[in-house]
Amino acid sequence: DGGITQSPKYLFRKEGQNVTLSCEQNLNHDAMYWYRQDPGQGLRLIYYSQIVNDFQKGDIAEGYSVSREKKESFPLTVTSAQKNPTAFYLCASKTFGIQPQHFGDGTRLSIL
């Protein structure tokens, strides 16, 4: 079945540590997105990529970095500069046009 796979499901970060969240899709979608979800705040866009080797900052990019070396993969690194990383992180993808985004099942990141 086609879909989006996020791993790990749960992740713990120590102070000063960078961690990387994985997002892989086999839907042949061109565009991919990373969101952060906090209780009562909806989803906020961190980064997005419309094609391979290109990505743009979203609304809350500070303290995060991404790469898009392959169409299927869009990993997110939460750096030590992100002082409040505890959240639920969601990856999404879509094809071109006014089409819905398809979401993975998220990674919950906590601080040790």
Partner 1 sequence: AQSVAQPEDQVNVAEGNPLTVKCTYSVSGNPYLFWYVQYPNRGLQFLLKYITGDNLVKGSYGFEAEFNKSQTSFHLKKPSALVSDSALYFCAVRTYYKLSFGAGTTVTVRA
Residues that bind partner 1 (CB under 8 A): 4, 6, 31, 33, 40-43, 45, 48, 50, 58, 90, 92, 98, 100-106, 108
Q: Smallest distance, Å, CB 18 to partner 1? A: 24
Residue number, 55 or 78, with CB nearest to partner 1:
55
Q: Smallest distance, Å, CB 10 to partner 1? A: 10
Q: Smallest distance, Å, CB 2 to partner 1? A: 14
What is the amino acid identity at position 62?
E
Reference 74, options 64, 82, 86, 83; nearest CA is 64
Question: What is residue 112's three-state secondary structure?
Answer: coil
Residue number, 25 or 82, with CB nearest to partner 1:
25
Q: Smallest distance, Å, CB 14 to partner 1? A: 23
SS3 assignment for 28-82: CCCEEEEEEECCCCCEEEEEEEEECCEEEECCCCCCEEECCCECCECCEEECCCC
Whether the ω angle into residue 8 lies within 30 degrees of 0, i.e. cis, is yes
Residue number, 98 or 112, with CB nearest to partner 1:
98
Residue number, 16 or 42, with CB nearest to partner 1:
42
